[in-house]
Structure 1
Amino acid sequence: MNRDNNRKRLLEESFDICIIGAGASGAGAALDAELRGYRVALIDRGDIAGETSSRSTKLIHGGVRYLEQAIKKLDLAQLKQVRHGLAERRTVVRNAPHLAHPLALLTPVFSWFEGMYMSVGLTLYAFFAGQDRFPKGRWLTKPEALDKMPTLTPRMHSAVLYYDGQFNDARYALALAHSADEAGAVVVNYLAVTGFERDGSQLKAALVQDQLTGESFAIRAKVFLNCTGPYADGIRLMANPNLDHRIRPSKGVHIVLPRETLQSDCAMLIPKTADGRVVFAIPFGDNVFVGTTDDDYSDLRHEPLLEPAEVDYLLDTLRPYLAKTPDKSQVQAGFGGIRPLIESSRANTKTLLRDHEVEYDAESGLLSLLGGKWTTYRLMAQDAIDRVGERLANPVKGSTETHYLVGGETYRFEDWQTLQQRFSLPTDVCQHLMQTYGDRAERVANLLTAHPDLRERITENQPYIKAEVIYQVRQEMAVTVRDVLARRWRLELSDWELTAQVTPLVADLMAAELGWSDQYRTKQVATYQALLSSFMMKAGLVSEPTVATGL
């Protein structure tokens, strides 16, 4: 993906569809539309998956909570959502096997009855999943559970094991956008919609401003599709000020702890909390992500941040399930996202369904894809592009169910050994490259042929190497240091202090590749390190900037 070339095409061409928002649903819709033969533009005011789509729990699932509520309340809408999710998780894993895989989850229980209740529920969960090649769960004895996760509390009676999927959300969205780009779509990040041109009341062009250069121009298209998630009402009202609000944003946060918290490759599901939520503790690389919360959120102008009360709540939620609860000083980072829940009469955000809707505004002609969740992104995109085909009077059947994403088609994890033989890279680096870039890993390593110094690690105890930064700039449209450290790598999610330490080196590599001035490079470093410092202080993890990291 080349931003300059794509941006030039936006100025010179007109499109069948302009998709606003390059998160899961927008990137998924762009790929779907391009594969149907439509001319597609995909834009985002920030980076690809720069908001909600990079801040999920990293699970691909039908929704255990939804199944329980569906059965208790005989709620067919929630049951339908579970079935959709379970059907789609197979496709999510199949189409990008380097980025998604099955994950074992343990649910500790404290009585025979509780274990039986959970076992019956998870048996139903497996039944609705059908023959999807995910391993089958079972009820574990206490010794079996402790063998799989030694840090569990000895007070438990037993544990129930089941399987869902895990994935790298930001890179999955990037793979969707990259795949759409390679199919012919014009993908450009950091373009903010500021208004619309009209033919009568109908939209005919989106007015956009380049967030990197300040330049403004128009993108002409026959149909505009709003895929901006929790920010959808902003675009809807820009197109038609008379519309009612439809989105009720909900904030969810995670804390990040050392992997030793669980000492396991299994995740943990905490099925009930004091306020009726479900919380997960999930291994991800060298860390454990614990979350999430679920609270109304109204300040859409600012990024949702981890706060001290949320840190305490998640640590307190862990306490009954572990032999030793981690201390607040062990929290290395955190992240927050905003769910795009569709407004309804339900009492609170915890009871709102996360199913989706494709809304058509006859006054302006705008289509908006509302609600939904990561697991069902492909169905959401398919429904939206079906509606686009109707508006274009050119319906074409979608084909994304069996379409491999960039990096996935010939991926085999064991090929890391071939990579090691050819390029003499350390084992952890080769495995990281395979799991991050899939069958494109060799393209990253090929950069070492002309520039052997690019084999150097960014930091001693992590597998990231300098060549990746160059590849991400050239092939993955990374244009800021945060694009690299937060999304193409996930370092910002796992360790704020370490991220601050490596920021200058990453900025140096990007500056050389992108031709940044010394002043611009210095600004990139200072701005990002200040942001990381604000995260730490807002979460109550430090009371003042940390000298050791240069913050």
Structure 2
Amino acid sequence: MTATARLRRIGIAVGAAVATAYGGTILLVPPASANDHGGGGSHLAAIRQKIHDPGATVPSREVQRSSLIGASRASPLDVLVIGGGATGSGVALDAVTRGLRVGLVEREDFSSGTSSRSTKLIHGGVRYLEKAVFKLDYGQLKLVFHALEERKQVIDNAPHLCNALPCMTPCFDWFEVVYYWIGLKMYDLIAGARLLHLSRFYSKEESVELFPTLAKEGKGRRLRGTVVYYDGQMNDARLNVGLACSAALAGAAVLNHAEVVSLLKDDVGERIIGARIRDNLTGKEFDTYAKVIVNAAGPFCDSIRKMADKNARDMICPSSGVHIILPDYYSPEGMGLIVPKTKDGRVRRTDVLSAWSGIRPLAMDPSAKNTESISRDHVVFEDLPGLVTITGGKWTTYRSMAEDAVDAAIKSGKLTTTSGCVTNNLHIIGGEGWDPASFTVLTQQYMRMKISYKGKVVPGVMDTASAKHLSHAYGTLAERVATIAQDECLGKRLAHGYPFLEAEVAYCARHEYCESAIDFIARRTRLAFLDTDAAGRALPRVIEILAAEHKWDKPRQKQELQKAKEFLETFKSSKNAQFHDGKHN
């Protein structure tokens, strides 16, 4: 078996992290264990039934808003979460599955900020191992163990949205070969049962076979071989949306496009007891009361804290990373490339299909006396009674961050739960019973579907690529989307060269709180991130379908088109910002 065959059918990554994405390549240009607390098998079984019932659908946005309005001072929520990113949605899911009464509000859309602008990798903490060894830092070693455990949990809980990704590091002298090989074998040993696949060394010839565009020599150095290890890869935005929808199915009242404008205090001003919320789709405001507020607003958590105390000390030190999409000919399908040191300017501006930046909220304990306490781990802090802030960390550890935040909220509000944390053994929506080969059923059942196009009945496009896409994006719910495509004549692709179907727009509007064109092109699918121009061409049809679903009038449709075009321009601006005279800044 060839080296290519041994590593086929796995995603693609270039740079510090690069991920395959339907004909494009995502390039990151970098800036610089959970225990099962139980609660009983019957409780977990009941939660799974709620989330994975084949006939279950999420409550409508109107029902969710009414639930939040109904959380009065006399009958408050147990927990109100501010922020619908990975951590906030994870907090809502954790809290509601412990039997708490939960609400969540997000100013824009689920995953609209940092959580949709990640590397798309679920890191096992290999970088921390180097620091642990050379600095004899036990704290860094603990981060490795923690990241490995949580990486396994993320992949297990959302198998349709996650996969193993081989990452190659080229070595141009024998010292590098020995250095990286020993380091990765230590990583394999530490990972133990949590290991995705064993790392290994590839000769120069094998390496070029796997990655044909890899330089064989440069600046007087010759390629000696490569070392390859495996990390996790995910569809971050859809994973985030899946968390929010899972929380909704479990009983939480989740509401996107709903902004906190102020916090409410008790009569003596000593405890936070709720929030004033503006529904950004209607402009109307209402009060929601809760025994505890969990601030999970990511890079914006300081602004929430200052609503409670204008003199609150900042605890966020933002770190920015830049990502670009390149055509697929830059890298082969099935292999990623890790470049520890990058000094080149070889990518041409015209090759970039899309670009964006993301902000990671590095956290500092606000009670610390100096800034040396900035952490790569997360921080849970209670500024005032009733306001618990969770920030820092990373996508890989969102689940354990949520667990820590809910633990703190229970302690702050003296809340009564029906079980401990169960999210370490809970599939998100679409993940329960999913099989990697399930796309074949879709292909066989819907390949010959017919759709209406310009007054004619023509074959649909449920080919293998579209079937694979639906299976991985929606898991066991993919057939629901395929049924809409067939029964409602929505089987056409939205953009040439990409497997996204018109039926997805309707499905996401009905079942995933997709409230705008931007919600769809940026979060329910990744089209805006993959190819800005293709997303622009798809917009009219996306808006047409959303207008039918949400009963938009002509002015609203025009407004949606304008907003979406402005949104796509930010990707082009980001692209231009990364280059100066054809070189990386």
TM-score (norm 2): 0.81
- Does residue 375 of the first structure (1) align with residue 437 of the second (2)? no
Cα contact 1:458–1:505 (8 A) shared by 2: yes
Q: Name the CA distance, whole Å, in 2 between partners of 1:145 and 1:426.
A: 33
| Shift in Å, 1:535 | 3.2
| One-letter amino acid of the counterpart of residue 407, structure 1 | G
Structure 2 residue identity aligned to 1:353:
S
Measured against aligned partners, the alpha-carbon deviations of 1:67-114 in whole angstroms (never above 9, x if no partner) come to 212222122222211211011111111111000011100000110101
Match 1:435 to one of 472, 477, 492: 472
Mapped contact 2:496–2:534 kept (Cα < 8 A): no
Could you give the per-residue CA deviations for residues 407-454 of structure 1, whole angstroms, max 9, x where no partner exists? 000111211111122222211111110010000001111213431x20
Measure how far apart 1:541 and its partner are.
8.1
Residues 320-339 of structure 1 aligned to structure 2 (within 5 Å)? 325-339=346-360
Identify the residue that residue 9 of structure 2 maps to in structure 1: none
Cα distance in 2, alignment partners of residues 346 and 173 from structure 1: 35
Q: Name the structure 2 match of 1:127.
A: 189
Residue identity in the other structure for 1:240: D
Partners of 1:118 and 1:169 lie apart in 2 by: 29
Instruction: Give the Å deviation of 1:142.
Output: 0.7
Q: Is the 8 A contact 1:261 1:326 kept in 2?
A: no
Structure 2 match to 1:259 = 328
Report if aligned partners of 2:364, 2:375 keep a CA contact under 8 Å in 1: no
CA contact under 8 A between 1:346 and 1:352: conserved in structure 2? no
Please name the residue that 1:399 is paired with.
422
Change (3 A) 1:348 1:99: farther
Give, as a single letter, the amino acid of the residue that structure 1 aligns with 2:285.
Answer: S
- Alignment match, 2:314: 245
1:57 Cα shift?
A: 0.2
Partner secondary structure for residue 367 of structure 1:
strand
Gap regions ≥5 residues in structure 1: 275-315, 320-324, 544-551
In the other structure, the counterpart of 1:450 is 487
In 2, are the aligned partners of 1:148 and 1:264 still within 8 Å (CA)?
A: no
Aligned-partner Cα distance in 1 for 2:570–2:311: 38
CA contact (8 A) 1:209 1:216 kept: yes
Structure 2: which amino acid aligns with 1:414? A
Residue 501 (structure 1) aligned to one of 532, 537, 540? 537
Is the 8 Å Cα contact of residues 67 and 79 (structure 1) preserved in structure 2?
yes
Helix, strand or coil: the match of 2:443? helix
Query: Structure 1 pair 514/402, CA: closer, same or farther in 2 (3 Å)?
Result: same
Match of 1:111 among 173, 177, 182: 173
Q: Find the counterpart in structure 2 of residue 312 from structure 1.
A: none
Asked if residue 222 in structure 1 is aligned to residue 291 in structure 2, the reply is yes
Aligned length, in residue pairs: 492
Question: d(CA) in 2 for partners of 1:538 and 1:145?
Answer: 33
CA distance in 2, matches of 1:542, 1:88: 33
Which residue number in structure 1 is paired with residue 244 of structure 2? Answer: 177
Within 5 Å, give how 1:286-365 maps onto structure 2: 316=344, 325-343=346-364, 353-361=375-383, 363-365=384-386
Are 1:91 and 2:159 counterparts? no
Q: How far apart, in 2, do the equivalents of 1:377 and 1:326 lie?
A: 33
What SS class does the counterpart of residue 524 from structure 1 fall into? Answer: helix
Structure 2 distance, partners of 1:133, 1:117, is 20
In structure 2, the residue matched to 1:204 is 273
Map of 1:523 onto structure 2: 559
Bigger mean CA offset, 458-467 vs 173-182 = 458-467
* Partner residue, 1:492: 528
Q: Is the 8 Å Cα contact of residues 150 and 264 (structure 1) preserved in structure 2?
A: no
Aligned residue for 1:65?
127
Q: Which amino acid aligns with 1:478?
A: C
Q: How do 1:418-433 residues align onto structure 2 when only pairs under 5 Å count?
A: 418-424=441-447, 425-433=462-470
Structure 2: distance between partners of 1:91 and 1:209: 35
Q: Which has the higher contact order (CA 8 A, sep 6+)?
A: 2
Give the unaligned 5+ runs of structure 2. Answer: 1-57, 218-222, 448-461, 580-585
Aligned partners of 1:533 and 1:145: how far apart in 2? Answer: 38
When residues 145 and 353 of structure 1 are mapped into structure 2, their CA distance, relative to the original with a 3 A threshold, is farther
CA 437–74 in structure 1, closer or farther in 2 if over 3 Å, else same: same
Q: Single out whichever of 373-382 and 148-157 deviates more from structure 2.
A: 148-157
Compared CA separation, residues 149 and 538, structure 1 to 2 (3 A): closer
CA distance in 2, matches of 1:346, 1:434: 51
Deviation of the 1:485 alpha carbon: 0.4
Question: What are the superposed Cα offsets for residues 514-550 of structure 1, whole Å, 9 maximum, x if unpaired?
Answer: 011111101111221133234324532899xxxxxxx
- How far apart in 1 are the matches of 2:361 and 2:496? 39
Further displaced range: 485-494 or 417-426: 417-426
Q: What are the within-5 Å matches in structure 2 for residues 3-14 of structure 1?
A: 3-13=61-71, 14=76
Q: Which amino acid aligns with 1:458?
A: L
Match of 2:434 in 1: 411
Root mean square deviation of aligned Cα: 2.0
Aligned match of 2:117: 55
Alpha-carbon separation, structure 2, partners of 1:539 and 1:101: 28
SS at match of 2:338: strand
Output one character per residue of 1:274-329: Cα deviation in whole Å (capped at 9) or x when no partner. Answer: 6xxxxxxxxxxxxxxxxxxxxxxxxxxxxxxxxxxxxxxxxx2xx6xxxxx43221
Using the TM superposition, name which of 423-432 and 97-106 deviates more.
Answer: 423-432
Q: Look up the match of 2:54.
A: none
Hey, what does 1:268 align to over in structure 2? 337
Query: Is the Cα–Cα contact under 8 Å of residues 126 and 187 in structure 2 kept in the other structure?
Result: yes
Amino acid at match of 2:394: K
2: CA distance, partners of 1:338 / 1:541? 16
Please give the per-residue CA displacement for 1:498-519, whole angstroms capped at 9, x wherever unaligned: 1111111101110111011111
Alpha-carbon contact 2:356-2:575 (below 8 Å) kept: no
Shift of 1:35: 0.7
Q: Does residue 77 of structure 1 match 2:114?
A: no
Q: How does 1:380-391 map to 2 (within 5 A)?
A: 380-391=401-412
Deviation (angstroms), 1:352: 5.0
| Partner in structure 1 of residue 548 of structure 2 | 512
Runs of 4+ in 1 over 4 A off after TM superposition: 344-349
- Calculate percent identity across the aligned residue pairs: 39
2:575 paired residue among 518, 526, 539: 539
**Separation of aligned partners in 2, 1:109 and 1:224:** 50
